[in-house]
Amino acid sequence: MADQLIDETDREILELLREDARRTLGDIGARVTLSTAAVKRRIDRMQENGVIVGYTVQIDHAKLGWGIEAFTELRFTGTTKVGEIVRTTTRMPEAQAVFTIAGDPDALVWLRVRDMGHLQHTIDEIRRHHQVTGTKTLMVLDSWTRGQQWPHPGDV
């Protein structure tokens, strides 16, 4: 569906914005050989179509004292609704994302904490939820992310 909303030039614009959302329209235009006005029209159209849903900043969490990342698998009682699974951790500042998944486990929570004691406290807090039947925590040693890129049609 998204491929019908955008063309290759739009993809180039999106990639440039993904690399640096503060890039000027003039800079983008120079890189994709379009006028500033044409770039603005394309970006406005992609926002209206929901292809671009927002802009963000990347933070070095380690410099803020929250440098430890972990993923915690959660298992719940069989009667737990998906919405309740998500609500179990979304109120916690340590939870960066919650993924409900098919099979075992029921959810995967991406956590960011200050230190090992903070991680232990966070896991204990999750375990106190009456519908959580088990957890398994995996520590992140290093990471790489594709960001918000998408596969090009010929890549798949």
Residues 121 and 82 in one domain: yes
pLDDT score, position 144: 84
Note whether residue 81 is domain-resident.
Answer: yes
Residues of the chain with pLDDT under 70: 1-3, 147-156
Cα 106 to Cα 82, 83, 84, 123, 135: the distances in Å are 9, 12, 11, 16, 10
Count of structural domains within the chain = 2
pLDDT at 156: 46
Q: Which domain holds residue 38?
A: 8-49
| Whether 70 and 41 share a structural domain | no
CATH code at position 71? 3.30.70.920
Q: Residue 76: what pLDDT?
A: 96
76, 127: one domain: yes
* Residues 39 and 66 occupy one common structural domain: no
Residue 63, Cβ neighbours under 10 Å: how many?
A: 8
Do 114 and 81 belong together in one domain? yes
